[in-house]
Structure 1
């Protein structure tokens, strides 16, 4: 959060305001505070945020591109049903993970990862460049070294899974790297990581995946990635089924 604030301080005020409007309205929609069919007006948004009509219109165009709203003459800006959202967009994922439906969102995203990442790992074992293979091994080692530092560990974890998708040789898998990064960051933001830091088994699985890719062993890379993600799924299910404190 602090890094994001520093970045915003370096941006022009108008750009920061645009970002804030998109963030606030987008989050309200994605978390259900604004239900499908709710109507917004340019005038109402101008008054709420204290900006010009042009600024509001530009922000609504971005939300419309995400599928969150649509504009209709004489009606205004209407909130869309979730079936029309671009649910793979990292911003929508981040907003949904901050709302009351976060548990189901984690489940659906983990199911997506189970379907995609083992295949991506097998593809990386076949197609990764020598540099990518070395970097995966280095990142797995870094995760173990940084296990006691949550921020450094998260950065290495995101970099590892991003590189795995990008090295797969499949551009469709690579395009999901932003979504997977938001899932990993969301687990950290929602304090859903294991107490006491990463589990030793998870660290070992990351190292085994990296080794399989480095050894050009698609079957092993696929199997070890599947094992890792099934453990993640089990952890999520155990958390949801545990009694409330």
Structure 2
């Protein structure tokens, strides 16, 4: 099955669910998608499997593909994040993930300074040095990939598997900010220094300094983009226990 057809089907349906073109409760027929996209039933089946895993649809025999409401979506799924960033939910999506990062990443840095294995420390130092070089030289493509790698390493080095699994949604957010032009034209020198400080503190086993340096990064990030969501209402989904 060609990947391009698979991705085309996922994008076609998923993006339209997130932007509201397909409404909650609406039933989509696989046969109609096959005709519209000019693809086989197996392509549609695999695409629906991906969308169901993200909580966007429920496929039922003899009924069709039912669109689920937003409260059922997986808010940590990179596809959901990307589609929300591309639409009217951009501000709300950025706020939710930025607030999550502000809350979690300083704690992850503190734990990493207490528990990170030597190989994590070595790679963090290397990535921080490469980030500084890429940032100063204006190589924003390389800087983005290094930035994603840096934060994923810190989350994993915490030794907390739940923190580590936030790497993909955080990476999706960093990519989305870049694609939407919401990143500085060049990384601030202060931000480069703070990333180096996080790596140094983790490698030196200094939890308080690691947390403080990551807190500075996160607060700066929040200040840079909080205007995007200034007038967006907050979401209050009822908890399901």
TM-score, normalised via structure 2 length: 0.89
Partners of 1:202 and 1:32 lie apart in 2 by: 37
1:58 maps onto 2:53 in alignment: no
Match in the other structure for 1:180 = 170
Task: Indicate how the Cα distance of structure 1 residues 55 and 170 shifts in structure 2: closer, same or farther if over 3 A, else same.
Answer: same
Task: Indicate how the Cα distance of structure 1 residues 144 and 161 shifts in structure 2: closer, same or farther if over 3 A, else same.
Answer: same
CA RMSD of aligned residues (A): 1.7
Match in the other structure for 2:197 = 208
Match in the other structure for 1:221 = 210
From 223, 232, 238, the counterpart of 2:221: 232
- Out of 54-63 and 199-208, give the one that drifted further: 54-63
Correspondence 1:34-183 to 2 at 5 A: 34-147=22-135, 148-183=138-173
Partners of 1:176 and 1:119 lie apart in 2 by: 13
From 22, 27, 30, the counterpart of 2:18: 30
CA deviation after TM superposition for structure 1 residue 50, in Å: 1.1
Partners of 1:240 and 1:81 lie apart in 2 by: 22
Match in the other structure for 2:237 = none
CA deviation after TM superposition for structure 1 residue 239, in Å: 4.8
What is the number of residues matched between the two proteins?
Answer: 229
Task: Indicate how the Cα distance of structure 1 residues 17 and 142 shifts in structure 2: closer, same or farther if over 3 A, else same.
Answer: same
CA deviation after TM superposition for structure 1 residue 236, in Å: 1.1
TM-score, normalised via structure 1 length: 0.88
After the TM superposition, which parts of structure 1 deviate over 4 Å for at least 4 consecutive aligned residues? 239-242
CA deviation after TM superposition for structure 1 residue 240, in Å: 4.9
